Amino acid sequence: MIDNFDLFNGTEKFDLILKKIEDDNKEVFREAMITYDECCTFFSLNNKISLVEVNNKLPNSIKNLIDVEWKRFCNN
């Protein structure tokens, strides 16, 4: 068995995208009192990773941005 098994294999690159969104919108994340680590819930089924939920404390503009980036990430 691999020691560093990651159920969400492949999301590391998306973590960088989330970090950039957070860095570009620091005040929004500060006001929502969440970090990019808390902002998304992922689920894995049949080796397919899905973005299940974006934290509802974030404004719709940021939620939409994350959704768009997730779709772009999945299409690449």
Cβ neighbours, 10 Å, residue 68: 10
Count of residues in the chain: 76
From the centroid of its chain, how far is CA 71?
Answer: 11
| Residue ranges of domains in the chain | 11-75
- Between CA 57 and CA 42 the distance in angstroms is 17
Q: What is the pLDDT of residue 61?
A: 95
Residues 1-59 pLDDT 10s: 445 555 556 788 899 999 999 999 999 999 999 998 899 999 888 878 899 999 999 99
Provide the β-strand partners of residue 45: 48
Helix (H, G, I), strand (E, B) or coil at 17: helix
Structure tokens at 39: 């902002």
